[in-house]
Each structure stands twice: as structure tokens, then as C-alpha cells.
């Protein structure tokens, strides 16, 4: 009888100990901002079959790492992680996009651009890459505002030329070209928008052109002349009609 | 069909009638036991002849080598030297009931016998016929669809005999066939053995139950320490002692 | 052939009861909880995470089940002495090995089909459209596991079941690293290590020749010719290994 009681007490004490130990573990230990990130080369040599799985693991890890250290601002290992994930999984679009934006938080938009360029090289049929590159040129370009806008316009135009891209990209390109001091290009692009667009797009084209065209009637006409060869006669006439509304004929 | 220690079997043609059912000649078997692969001699020169249509009893204390001799006969083990020849054309004509048998417990009695029949290459019609006939013979028709897991020891023994006879063998080797059977079961098995004898089959069985041996066997052999130390007819044995037990003790202690 | 079929069906019945359905259910639960959780922290990449994690889990579970059942197949029969019932009949050692393997193939097909279909459905729900590639990937995992099952059965004929299962898993890992072994053969530093590497490279099944996972998540376009060739290679590998196992088994005594 005594023995049994002692045995039960021992077991209960152990159970209590187990629970107590777990309950008294210190709360989240401060995570180390310096994470060891293996070089991509290691994994590229290592196991071809598990490349994408490893990329996925590091992708999730990267997101967690970013979330944890963003506030403190210590994101030193981020560029290495982004590099690793995208090297192991070159078609992993979201990794590039996330990485590009995350890198701006590390103060390295130049790396973002390089990353996106790599992504575009690996995925030339994806318009998202040049579109984001356009945004980054616009937002984080290193030259004057006008130069940035011009560069952005070039990227957006490239994006627009990829089959399957949404129509607004060309409009964006045209606006930025105009702002970037590339008037001729802008006019040409607006012309394309007009030629290929629906009623909404055409209205946008007209507004866009109206904004950048000279107000002098002759100058306006001269500027519009190149469009005669790219637009159908019907379209060209309609466009002229819109742009010269209110101008005495 | 022969098992030889060296080279291929002789295959010499002798008249089917006069050829013994089992012929063992100077059979030796050594095994390597344990982690250190110690050599242990199990059979030390067994000489034995079982004639056609005999009911033969193989007796001996535990560890004498009875089961091993039967295993070498079946090809489950290879002789280290010496030879053993069966007077039938292959395992297709042999039936075997191992000691303390264990069968697939997820199968029913009927399924198990069907499986055994298929191993002999029988076609579906023959299989079915044989299975039903044998279930009848060992009185397991009612339990035929119960899983073997649920069988009592006696029932397992009976299904074991059934699988030993499923191919209508010429030579039947039974290792301790009466173990675990109640008196009714034992009578049934004895009747089965008698019927086999009547139909011209040869039966060899190991047993410790000397009264059964007395009842059923025409000839016996007594093995001890891997050798046959006495062989002869039951009558000869009883000429030298009161009962078979006494004779057995006499011989073994010599 | 009928014998092989009988043994295969018997093995299937035996192994499918091995709590196999439970494995599929546990797998399903792990997938739902684990896969969805990973998806939730992946910024919208639920489909990809589920495919990747899912295939890795199918491979892992499949490997464990296959290896442990394969390692025990031969052993269980020897230990439980049901093997006497089989080899006291005219059944060749090769037929036994072949039948055991084929029975296990059937069980593994059920297991992988169960897991594969569940994953297929789950991915379909997450992605909004079904992807036949997932089923193809599971099929390729099955073919890889066939090679590992054969290897494990071979090891089990040599000795202990535990050793066989550990070696089976090791061979699987080595197979995944086949490409690396190949690069070792080209280092050109030491003719001995080169020769050794070549031997290992040929003996270990190449399980990394085609990356089906990458194809499924959209990283690679798969060359059907390559996949076909790889499958034929693995099937040929199975044949060779099973032949070796039968050879070893022929020398075994019970």
C-alpha cells in the first residue's frame, strides 16, 4: 500500500516537473539578425531533385526573417537569402518581387533592380518583371527626375510589348515618356494606345496627347503628322477631330 | 529425387515398386550457430530406409535430429555430406506437416487451403474439389471461413494435416501430428493415416506418443545424437521388451 | 506463374492489413494541417507550397512504409515458420521472391494512389484548377520506391530485417545524390577513388535523373522521353536486383 502511494507520488512529481519546465522556458529568444545562408553553389552541386524544395524552405525562412527584423532594421542577411532562393528556383516569381521590395528596406534598391533584371532574364515572357523595373526606375532611379521618368517609360514600353500584358502599361509608358522629356516617343505611344484601345483607352489617349501637345495650332498639327503613317485614316481623322475641338478650323 | 552432399544426384533408374520411399545414406549435417559461428553437428551419419506403403515411426529424444532429417529430405536444408533420396518424382508428390505449425492468420481455413492448392499449380476446378474434400476429411467444414487467427491448436493441427494432403501425395511426412489434439481429434488423425496406408501411400511420422506408434507403425527407427541407433519392425522391438516405452528406454540408454 | 500469382495475392492480403489505411489517413491530416500552415505564411503561394510539401511528404511516407514492409516480408515468413509450408511444396525460390515483391507492389500502389489522389484534390482546391502533373509526380515516386523495395528485399535475404530497412533508406538517400557521385568520378585525382565512385554510381539506383518536383511547381518543363527512359532504367534495375536476391535466397536454409 505504502509502495503504491510512493510510486504514484513519484510519477505525479515527474509530470509536474515536466509541465513546470516547459512553462518556465524564457519567452522568444531574440533572433539573430545574422543568419548563416549557404551559398547557392553549395545547393546547386548538392541535390538536383530537391532544389525547389530547398528554395521553398528558404523562401519561407526569408519571409519570417524579414518580418522579424524589419522593425529593428537589421536585415543584413536578406540579400544573401534573396540571392539563394532565386538562384535555386529561377522561375519563382513571387520570390523576386518580394525580394525586390524587401531590399529597398535594406536601403539597396540598386540590388532590387539587379534582382529584377535577373528575374526578367530567366522569365522573358513575364511582363511583370519589366513593369516592376519601370516602377523601380521611377521611384528609386538615381538620376534626375526627368531621367528616371524616361528610363521608367522605356521599361513600361518593353513590358507593354510582351504578349498578354495589360493595356494600362502602354498608357503608363506614354505618360512617363512625356514627363521624361521624350515628346516624340510619347506621342507615338499615345498613338498606339489610340489605335489599339477601347473607348476608355481612346479618351485617355486624347487627354494624354492634349496635355503634352503644343497649343499652337500649326505646331500641334506638325507634331501629330508622324501618326498619320501609323494610324488608319479613319482613326487619324477621329483623333484630329478630338484634339482640335475648340480650335477654329 | 535426391539430395546429395557432393555434386548432382544419381538419378539411377530402379523399378518404381522396389525403390524405397525414403533412402538416407550416411547423412551428415553441420550448422554454424551463434554470433561466433560455432560449428555444431546435428546429424552424424544417418542411415535409414523407408519402404513404399509403410507407416514408419521415427522416434528419439529431443535434439536427436529427427526434424532435421526430414528437412534435408524436403530440400529445406542441404546435406553437409552423404545423401538422401526420395522415391517420388519431386515435391509435388510429397506432403509435409511441420512441427508446431503456424499459418497465415489473416486467411480463413478455406482461403489457406486454396492458396496451398494453387502452389501445386492446380487449376481452379481441381483446387475447389480438393479443398472441400479435405475440409470434410479433417472435420473443419464449419470453421472453414473463420480466420486462422481464431483457430485453436487442435484446429490448426487439423488444417495442417489438410494442407499436407492437398495434393494427394505419395509420401507424407508428419512431424508430431498428434500434438494438441483432443482424443476425438487423435482418433481422426489415426484413421486418416490408416486410410493413407490402405490407399498405398507411404507415411513417415515423428512422435513421442509411443502408444500411437505401436498402433499405427509397421517399422520404426530410433535416433539419438544425430544417428539412427536402432531400426526394425515393431514386432521385433516388442520381442525384446515388455512395452515400446521400455524398449525405447533400453535402446537410448545403451 | 500461377504460383507467383498465388504468393503475390497472398502477400497483398497480408500487407494491406498492415494498418495501411491508417497511413493514408495520417498523411491526409499532416497535409491539411502542415500544408495549409506553410501556405498561410508564404504570401499567397499556397498552391506551390502544397505541391512541394505534399510531394515531399508522399515520398517520405511512401519510403517508410515501403522499406519497413519490404524488410519484414521474407523475415516474417522465416520467423513465423510459414516458410516451411511454402518450400515443402514444389515452389522455386525465385517464384517466392517474385511473388512477395509483386504483392508488395500492389499494396504500395494502393497507398500511393490514396495519398496522391488526396494531394491532387487538395492542390486543385487551392489552385482553383487541377494539375495532372501532381499525379505524374506521384507515379514517379512509386517507380522510385519499386527500386528501393527491391533493394530492401535483397538486403533482407542476407540477414536481419532491421539492417535491411536501414540500408534501404540509405540507398534511397544515396540514389538522390547520384549526380554528386557522378561528379566524384570525374575529379581525376585518384584512380582508386574514381573506380570506386564508378562502382557505387552504377550499383546505386539513380533516383535523381529527372526532377519531377521542379516540373510540377513550374520550374522546369519535363522531357517525356527522359521520363520514359528513366522509368525503363528503374524497372530493369528492379529485375536485376530481384534476380540477385533470388540467387542469395537459393543458398538459404530453413
Dig out the grid coordinates for B192 from the structure. Answer: 486418416
Contact A46 C38 (CB under 8 A): no
> Is the Cβ–Cβ distance between B193 and B56 less than 8 Å?
no
Residue that finishes a domain, picked among B169, B187, B207: B169
User: Which three cell numbers mark B176?
Assistant: 508430431
Average pLDDT across chain A, whole number: 87
Position A249 scores a pLDDT of: 54
Cell digits of residue A47? 541535390
B154 and B179 within one domain = no
Q: Where are the alpha helices (DSSP H) in C81-92?
A: 83-87
Query: Residue B5 pLDDT more than 60?
Result: no
Is B93 inside a domain boundary? no
Find where cell 510459414 sits: C82
For C76, nearest residue in chain B (alpha carbons): B104
Q: Which residues of A touch C211 (CB under 8 A)?
A: 48-49, 51-52
pLDDT per residue as tens digits for the range B103-127:
888 899 999 999 999 998 878 888 8
Are B65 and B113 in a shared domain? Answer: no
Count A/C contacts: CB-CB distance under 8 Å.
55
Chain segment B185-205, per-residue pLDDT in tens: 888 889 999 999 999 999 999
State the nearest Cα–Cα gap between C2 and chain B, in angstroms: 6
Contact A243, A209 (CB under 8 A): yes
Chain C partners within 8 Å of B163 (Cβ):
85
Binary contact (A53, C179; C-beta < 8 A): no
What's the burial of A124, exposed, middle or buried (CB within 10 Å: 0-12/13-18/19+)?
exposed
C254 and B71 in contact by Cβ < 8 A?
yes
Are B119 and B194 within one domain? no
C182 compared with C253, residue with greater pLDDT: C253
Interface of chain A toward chain C, CB-CB under 8 angstroms: 45-53, 56, 59-60, 63-64, 89-92, 94, 98
In the predicted structure, residue A114 carries a pLDDT above the cut 50: yes
Determine which of B30, B99, B104 to mutate to test the interface with C (most C C-beta atoms within 10 Å): B104
User: Which residues of C fall within a CB distance of 8 Å from A56?
Assistant: 48-49, 52-53
Percentages helix, strand, coil for chain C, rounded to the nearest 5?
80, 0, 20
Q: To the nearest whole angstrom, how far is the Cα of C208 from the nearest Cα of chain A?
A: 6
**Inter-chain touch A63–C41, beta carbons under 8 Å:** yes
CB distance A56–C44 less than 8 Å?
A: no
Whether residue B154 sits in one domain with residue B190: no
Same domain, B36 and B69: yes
- How long is chain A? 249
B187 assigned to some structural domain = yes
Task: Report the domain count for chain B.
Answer: 2
Residue B121 structural domain: 100-169
> How sure is the predictor about C165, in pLDDT bands with cuts at 50, 70 and 90?
very high
Contacts of A61 (CB under 8 A, 6+ apart): A35, A81
CA nearest B161 in C: which residue? C85
Tell me B221's DSSP state: E
> Which among B96, B103, B118 has CB closest to C2?
B118
Confidence of residue A60 (pLDDT cuts 50, 70, 90): very high
Distance (Å) from the alpha carbon of A13 to chain C's nearest alpha carbon = 33
Q: Which domain holds residue C202?
A: 2-250
Percent of chain A with pLDDT over 70: 96
- Asked if residue B74 and residue B191 are part of one domain, the reply reads yes
Residues of C in contact with A52 (CB under 8 A): 52, 211, 213-214, 217, 219
Flag whether pLDDT at A42 surpasses 90.
Answer: no
| Residues of chain B numbered 228-247 and touching chain C (CB < 8 Å) | none
Q: Give the model's confidence band at A239: pLDDT under 50 very low, under 70 low, under 90 confident, else very high.
A: confident
Which residue shows C-alpha cell 533412402? Answer: B23
Residue B55 burial (CB count, 10 A): 23
pLDDT attached to residue B173 = 94
C-alpha cell at A133: 523595373
Helices vs strands, H then E, count in chain A: 14, 0
The Cα–Cα gap between C7 and C56 comes to 32
Distance from CA of A118 to the nearest CA of C (A): 15
Residue B82, SS3?
A: strand
Identify whether B94 is part of a domain: no
Whether residue C176 has pLDDT greater than 50: yes
By C-alpha distance, the chain C residue nearest A45 is C180
Query: CB distance B120–C253 less than 8 Å?
Result: no
Asked whether residue B247 is assigned to any structural domain, the reply reads: yes
Nearest residue on chain C to B164, judged by CA atoms? C85
Fold of A125-249: 1.25.40
Question: Smallest Cα–Cα separation from B254: which of C196, B58, B241?
Answer: B241
Instruction: Please give the average per-residue pLDDT across C167-180, as a whole number.
Output: 89
Question: Residue C218 above 90 pLDDT?
Answer: no
Subunit contact B101:C81, Cβ cutoff 8 A: yes
Q: Do B121 and C86 touch (CB under 8 A)?
A: no
- Using an 8 Å CB-CB cutoff, list chain C residues near A128: none
| B95 domain-assigned | no
Mean pLDDT for all residues in chain C:
88
Chains C and A lie in contact, requiring 3 or more CB pairs less than 8 Å apart: yes
- Whether residues B44 and B78 share a domain: the answer is yes
Counting residues of chain C whose pLDDT is more than 70, the rounded percentage is 98
Do C45 and A59 count as a contact with CB atoms less than 8 A apart? Answer: yes
Domain spans in chain A, listed from the N-terminal domain onward: 30-123, 125-249
The pLDDT, as a whole number, for residue B10 is 44
Residue B8 has pLDDT above 60, yes or no: no
Q: Do residues B194 and B240 both lie within one domain? A: yes
Q: What is the pLDDT of residues A96-109, one digit of tens each?
A: 999 999 999 888 89
Burial class (CB in 10 A: 0-12, 13-18, 19+), B158: buried
Q: Do B148 and B164 fall within a single domain?
A: yes
Same domain, B160 and B179: no
Is the confidence at residue A54, as pLDDT, over 80?
yes
pTM: 0.84
Q: What strands lie across the sheet with B22-33, from one edge to the other? A: B2-4, B81-86, B22-33, B38-50
Is residue B30 located within the same domain as residue B107?
no
Asked if the model's pLDDT at residue C187 lies above 50, the reply is: yes
**What's the confidence (pLDDT) of residue B204?**
94
- Which residues of chain A does C37 touch, with a Cβ-Cβ cutoff of 8 Å? none
What are the percentages of helix, strand and coil residues in chain B, rounded to 5?
Answer: 35, 25, 35
Total domains present in chain C: 1
In this predicted structure, the answer to whether residue B9 has a pLDDT above a threshold of 60 is no
Amino acid at each position: 500500500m505504502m509502495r503504491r502511494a510512493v510510486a504514484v507520488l513519484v510519477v505525479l512529481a515527474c509530470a509536474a516537473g515536466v509541465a513546470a519546465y516547459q512553462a518556465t522556458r524564457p519567452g522568444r529568444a531574440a533572433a539573430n539578425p545574422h543568419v548563416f545562408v549557404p551559398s547557392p553553389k553549395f545547393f546547386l552541386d548538392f541535390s538536383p531533385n530537391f532544389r525547389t524544395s530547398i528554395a521553398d524552405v528558404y523562401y519561407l525562412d526569408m519571409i519570417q526573417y524579414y518580418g522579424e527584423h524589419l522593425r529593428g532594421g537589421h536585415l543584413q542577411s536578406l540579400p544573401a537569402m534573396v540571392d539563394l532562393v532565386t538562384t535555386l528556383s529561377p522561375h519563382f516569381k513571387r520570390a523576386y518581387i518580394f525580394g525586390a521590395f524587401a531590399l529597398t528596406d535594406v536601403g539597396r534598391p540598386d540590388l532590387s533592380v539587379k534582382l529584377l533584371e535577373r528575374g526578367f532574364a530567366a522569365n522573358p515572357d513575364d511582363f511583370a518583371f519589366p513593369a516592376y523595373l519601370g516602377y523601380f526606375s521611377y521611384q528609386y532611379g538615381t538620376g534626375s527626375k526627368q531621367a528616371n521618368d524616361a528610363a521608367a517609360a522605356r521599361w513600361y514600353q518593353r513590358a507593354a510589348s510582351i504578349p498578354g500584358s495589360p493595356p494600362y502599361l502602354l498608357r503608363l509608358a506614354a505618360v512617363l515618356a512625356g514627363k521624361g522629356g521624350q515628346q516624340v516617343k510619347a506621342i507615338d505611344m499615345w498613338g498606339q494606345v489610340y489605335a489599339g484601345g477601347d473607348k476608355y483607352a481612346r479618351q485617355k489617349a486624347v487627354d494624354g496627347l492634349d496635355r503634352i501637345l503644343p497649343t499652337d495650332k500649326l505646331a500641334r498639327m506638325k507634331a501629330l503628322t508622324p501618326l498619320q503613317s501609323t494610324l488608319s485614316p479613319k482613326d487619324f481623322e477621329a483623333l484630329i477631330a478630338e484634339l482640335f475641338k475648340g480650335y477654329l478650323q | 529425387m535426391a539430395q546429395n552432399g557432393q555434386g548432382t544426384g544419381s538419378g539411377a533408374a530402379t523399378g518404381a515398386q522396389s525403390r524405397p520411399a525414403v533412402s538416407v545414406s550416411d547423412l551428415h549435417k553441420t550448422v554454424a550457430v551463434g554470433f561466433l559461428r560455432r560449428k555444431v553437428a546435428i546429424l552424424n551419419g544417418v542411415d535409414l530406409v523407408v519402404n513404399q506403403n509403410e507407416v514408419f515411426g521415427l522416434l528419439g529424444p529431443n535434439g536427436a535430429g529427427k526434424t532435421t532429417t526430414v528437412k534435408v529430405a524436403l530440400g529445406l536444408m542441404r546435406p553437409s555430406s552423404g545423401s538422401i533420396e526420395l522415391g517420388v518424382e519431386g515435391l509435388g508428390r510429397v506432403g509435409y506437416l511441420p512441427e508446431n505449425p503456424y499459418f497465415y492468420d489473416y486467411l480463413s481455413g478455406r482461403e489457406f487451403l486454396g492458396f496451398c492448392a494453387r502452389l501445386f499449380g492446380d487449376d481452379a476446378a481441381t483446387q475447389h474439389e480438393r479443398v472441400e474434400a479435405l475440409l470434410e476429411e479433417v472435420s473443419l467444414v464449419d470453421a472453414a471461413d473463420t480466420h486462422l487467427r481464431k483457430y485453436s491448436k487442435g484446429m490448426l493441427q487439423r488444417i495442417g494435416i489438410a494442407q499436407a494432403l492437398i495434393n494427394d501425395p505419395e509420401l507424407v511426412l508428419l512431424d508430431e501430428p498428434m500434438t494438441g489434439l483432443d482424443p476425438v481429434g487423435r482418433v481422426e488423425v489415426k484413421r486418416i493415416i490408416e486410410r493413407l496406408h490402405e490407399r498405398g501411400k507411404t507415411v513417415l511420422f515423428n512422435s513421442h506418443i509411443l502408444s500411437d506408434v505401436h498402433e499405427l507403425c509397421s517399422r520404426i527407427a530410433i535416433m539419438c545424437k544425430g544417428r539412427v541407433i536402432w531400426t526394425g519392425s515393431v514386432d521385433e522391438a516388442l520381442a525384446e521388451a515388455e512395452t515400446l516405452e521400455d524398449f525405447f528406454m533400453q535402446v537410448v540408454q545403451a | 506463374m500461377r504460383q507467383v500469382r498465388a504468393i503475390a495475392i497472398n502477400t497483398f492480403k497480408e500487407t494491406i492489413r498492415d494498418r495501411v489505411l491508417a497511413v493514408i489517413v495520417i498523411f491526409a491530416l499532416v497535409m491539411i494541417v502542415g500544408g495549409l500552415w506553410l501556405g498561410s505564411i508564404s504570401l499567397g503561394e499556397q498552391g506551390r507550397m502544397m505541391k512541394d510539401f505534399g510531394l515531399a511528404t508522399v515520398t517520405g511516407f511512401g519510403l517508410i512504409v515501403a522499406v519497413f514492409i519490404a524488410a519484414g516480408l521474407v523475415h516474417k515468413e522465416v520467423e513465423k515458420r510459414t516458410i516451411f509450408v511454402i518450400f515443402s511444396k514444389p515452389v522455386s525460390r525465385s517464384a517466392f521472391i517474385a511473388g512477395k515483391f509483386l504483392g508488395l507492389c500492389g499494396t504500395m500502389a494502393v497507398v500511393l494512389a490514396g495519398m496522391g489522389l488526396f494531394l491532387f484534390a487538395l492542390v486543385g482546391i487551392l489552385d482553383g484548377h487541377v494539375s495532372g502533373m501532381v499525379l505524374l509526380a506521384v507515379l514517379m515516386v512509386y517507380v522510385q520506391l519499386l527500386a528501393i523495395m527491391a533493394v530492401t528485399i535483397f538486403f533482407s535475404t542476407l540477414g536481419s530485417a532491421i539492417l535491411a530497412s536501414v540500408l534501404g533508406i540509405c540507398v534511397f538517400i544515396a540514389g538522390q545524390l547520384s549526380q554528386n557521385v557522378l561528379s566524384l568520378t570525374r575529379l581525376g585525382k585518384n584512380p582508386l577513388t574514381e573506380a570506386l565512385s564508378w562502382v557505387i554510381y552504377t550499383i546505386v539506383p539513380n533516383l535523381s535523373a529527372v526532377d519531377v518536383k521542379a516540373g510540377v511547381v513550374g520550374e522546369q518543363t519535363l522531357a517525356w522521353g527522359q521520363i520514359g527512359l528513366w522509368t525503363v532504367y528503374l524497372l530493369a534495375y528492379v529485375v536485376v536486383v530481384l534476380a540477385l536476391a533470388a540467387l542469395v535466397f537459393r543458398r538459404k536454409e530453413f
